[in-house]
Amino acid sequence: MKNKLFTLFASFLTVLFIIFIANSTKAVAADSPFPYESTNAGNYIGNGVANGDTYNYSYASTSQIPVDSEGFVNYQDQAYVKKTVKANPQKQGLFDVTLDIKGNQLPHPPLDVVLVIDYSSSMQGEKLTNTLKGLQEFGTELGDSLSNGVVQIGIVAYNRDMYSTNGFTNDMNELQNFLTSTAQSHTGTFIQKGLIAGQELLLNQGRSGAEKILIHIGDGSANRSYLPAVGATSYPNTGEITDYNGFHTANYVKDFQTTSEKFNTSDTISDPNGTKVDKEIVTDATLGTIVALKESGITTYSIGTAPTARGEYIARNIADKESHYRPIDENLLELGDALKTIINAVTKTIPNGTVTDPMGKDILLQGSGNFSKANYSATGWKKDSDGNWQSTDVLTRNLEVNEQNQVITLSNFALGANERITVTYQIRLNTEATDFKGEFWYFCNQRTTLDPTSTGSSLLDFPIPSIKAPTVKLSLEKQWKNAPEAVIPDKIDYQVIRTPLITPAAWTASDTLSLTKEKNFKTTLFTVPILGVNNDLPLYNNAGETISYSVNEVNIPEGFDFSLNQENNHFTLINTYKETSTSTTESSSSESTSQSSTSDSNSSESSTTVVTSTESTVVETSESSRKPAVIKTTNASGKSYPNTSDERASKIWMLIGTSLLGASLYLLKKFN
């Protein structure tokens, strides 16, 4: 009974071992909408097209994802992507990979925007210059949305007084003229006055059905406020006003005497209409108006210009949500970027894009480790009125391109309708890898995605292209000169030598092979053994230089001299018998005088001595330098995806499985 139980237990452990082994070679397929194939020809995307040594997605409409009229994969009219590879015509073995991305315009009603700007006494010189520049960048970013009237803009400037455009326009020059010619800088920070004027501009002069946005720009340091209306209701703060920096408002009112000349002030001033009060009174009154503004249905943003702690308390509360607040520098150098970020989130389907692009197995990214502008090109494109793409640097001005561990990241770009960016970089296939396969498709990349908002909420896949590299074949024959049949051995030994190479660990000399009398001392090589494993023969190395192959005879039979005749990759190994009195073979019509001395016939397995006519080279190899064989990733239907296995996890599974198998065998032996 015991034996049966232990036999069953051991069998169970064996089954577990098999399961563990299966799992150790299984990789999780990437969550990609595209079909990928893994066959004897390599790894490549379904519905693809081969062209020489490149394999690209066909970008024809498929059942998986629609393709637009320009051949881009269309993600629900939100984003359009394309990824292609082509052979670089200037250098052998070099490939250009291009990421191509288009955006679109968010479907929304017309947009009315009011900028409420703190125009205090410091709004002059550099500060005013940066404000005008930021406004111009804002208009440029709006592009077609502004020119076609989808977006219109009004401005309210305030200090102790208030200045307004008294309407909306889509002419940025008109808005800049307003700031330089109409608005005047003065002392006083009457935020309430500016916010209420902006609210009235949107509600009274905005378009019916238009989305309404108010953007406040200032440090939030209110020092004037209206008097509460007579009998105004006091509301307890139940979360409408958020605490910041230790500041708290317990109660607030929303109704004020906006037509009265009287006001409260936290500063000492000479104006007889001002009543000196504590800062808390001015702050709470300002925050009450902010609550009323939000309740009117207006979307509010706040750009805090180097605010104080109390100023930040007010500035943050102006924004109707935390993500709608952004701090910038005191001199408004960053105003343009802040305004563009706001409007992009409202008008563009790619408001803040990020692309993550990891290289594939045995793909060598050119410039990796020191990736700079010299290693890639980035171009922005906008369509003109005729629908033609024209290059522009506006769309790539803030684009960030970084690389770490062969993963490229593109970030800080926004794309709307008729806007597009392309980024091109270069790769090579690692033809010097120990497990290199010639004429075999390699994925250029692992899973490559676009995150339109950089929040991780939506990852859109690029189709992954593939590349391959050609190989060579070597033909060998042996000629015996002046050699009696009796002295010709049954076989001779040789090695294949190759140079130049870029990778120090790459093999330079093959294992010892043989030409035999049985096969007339002839052979054709498509692979050579390296430590017992057959390796393909690439045409070029990792720098694109054509590899030169040679053959060296080892253990030259006693009494013979050796020479080699090479024509391209056809090698004639000539052994000339030193005793010339007897000759049983015809002389070769052409022969070289390249000569080699005899290698040590007792060389160890871990090193091979190769002797050429000019020098002796010792090539050391070891089992530890060998890379594991390729493990293909497939799903249940036999499809594979461009991602890599977790080697660490595989080793852990293998260790556990081996331990279990050992335990099961021990138990079987002990109890039987």
Residues 533, 663 within the same domain: no
Q: Is the pLDDT of residue 299 over 90?
A: yes
Residues 265, 339 within the same domain: yes
Residues 71, 21 within the same domain: no
Residues 659, 672 within the same domain: yes
Spatial separation of the C-alpha atoms in residues 68 and 462, rounded to whole Å: 14
Spatial separation of the C-alpha atoms in residues 283 and 316, rounded to whole Å: 13
Confirm whether 638 is domain-assigned: no
Task: Check residue 346 and give its pLDDT.
Answer: 87
Mean pLDDT of the chain: 85
- pLDDT bin (cut points 50, 70, 90) of residue 633 is very low
Residues 268, 157 within the same domain: yes
Q: Are 176 and 134 in contact (CB under 8 A)?
A: no
> Which of residues 79 and 141 earns the better pLDDT score?
79
Task: Check residue 631 and give its pLDDT.
Answer: 33
Spatial separation of the C-alpha atoms in residues 92 and 430, rounded to whole Å: 13
Length of the chain measured in residues: 672
Report the CATH number at residue 574: 2.60.40.1140
Residues 439, 492 within the same domain: no
Report the CATH number at residue 75: 2.60.40.2110
Q: Is the pLDDT of residue 155 over 50?
A: yes
Confirm whether 637 is domain-assigned: no
Q: Are 548 and 498 in contact (CB under 8 A)?
A: yes
If one counts the domains in the chain, the total is 4
- pLDDT bin (cut points 50, 70, 90) of residue 620 is very low
Residues 169, 270 within the same domain: yes
CB burial class (10 A; 0-12, 13-18, 19+) of residue 4?
Answer: exposed
Amino acid 469 reads A
Q: What is the mean pLDDT of residues 634-662?
A: 48
Q: Which of 591, 613, 635 is the last residue of a domain?
A: 613
Instruction: Residue 440: give the domain boundaries.
Output: 34-105+352-467
For 226-279, how does the pLDDT look when each residue is reduced to its tens digit (9 = 90+)?
Answer: 999 999 999 999 999 999 999 999 999 999 999 999 999 999 999 999 999 999
Sign of CA dihedral 378, 384, 386, 387: positive
Residues 540, 560 within the same domain: yes
For 573-611, how does the pLDDT look when each residue is reduced to its tens digit (9 = 90+)?
Answer: 999 998 754 444 444 333 333 333 333 333 333 333 333
Q: Is the pLDDT of residue 414 over 70?
A: yes
Confirm whether 343 is domain-assigned: yes
Residues 44, 16 within the same domain: no
The number of C-alpha atoms within 13 Å of 510 and in the hemisphere containing its C-beta is 25
For 518-530, how does the pLDDT look when each residue is reduced to its tens digit (9 = 90+)?
Answer: 999 999 999 999 9
For 86-114, how does the pLDDT look when each residue is reduced to its tens digit (9 = 90+)?
Answer: 999 999 999 999 999 999 988 777 999 99
For the CA atoms of 322, 324, 327, 330, what is the dihedral angle to 10 degrees?
Answer: -140
Q: Is the pLDDT of residue 662 over 90?
A: no
> Which of residues 2 and 107 earns the better pLDDT score?
107
Confirm whether 636 is domain-assigned: no
- pLDDT bin (cut points 50, 70, 90) of residue 20 is very low
Q: Are 228 and 238 in contact (CB under 8 A)?
A: no
Residues 436, 485 within the same domain: no
Spatial separation of the C-alpha atoms in residues 358 and 601, rounded to whole Å: 47
Confirm whether 336 is domain-assigned: yes
Task: Check residue 508 and give its pLDDT.
Answer: 97
Confirm whether 483 is domain-assigned: yes
In 3D space, the residue among 193, 259, 208 whose CA is nearest the CA of residue 230 turns out to be: 259
Confirm whether 189 is domain-assigned: yes
Task: Check residue 144 and give its pLDDT.
Answer: 77
Q: Are 173 and 183 in contact (CB under 8 A)?
A: no
Confirm whether 627 is domain-assigned: no
Spatial separation of the C-alpha atoms in residues 517 and 514, rounded to whole Å: 10
Q: What is the mean pLDDT of residues 536-559?
A: 96
> What tokens does 501 get?
């190479």
Q: Are 410 and 355 in contact (CB under 8 A)?
A: yes
Q: Which of 312, 347, 382 is the last residue of a domain?
A: 347
Q: Which of 441, 467, 493 is the last residue of a domain?
A: 467
Q: What is the mean pLDDT of residues 135-154?
A: 88
> CA end-to-end span of the chain, whole Å?
11
Report the CATH number at residue 246: 3.40.50.410
For 47-79, how does the pLDDT look when each residue is reduced to its tens digit (9 = 90+)?
Answer: 999 999 999 999 986 667 899 999 999 999 999
Residues 256, 326 within the same domain: yes
Residues 166, 296 within the same domain: yes
In 3D space, the residue among 354, 414, 411 whose CA is nearest the CA of residue 380 turns out to be: 414
| Percentage, residues of the chain above pLDDT 70 | 81
Task: Check residue 121 and give its pLDDT.
Answer: 84
The number of C-alpha atoms within 13 Å of 665 and in the hemisphere containing its C-beta is 7
Q: What angle do CA 185, 279, 257 make, to 5 degrees?
A: 70
Q: What is the mean pLDDT of residues 288-314?
A: 96
Q: Is the pLDDT of residue 545 over 70?
A: yes
> Which of residues 140 and 181 earns the better pLDDT score?
181
Q: Is the pLDDT of residue 401 over 80?
A: yes
- pLDDT bin (cut points 50, 70, 90) of residue 638 is very low
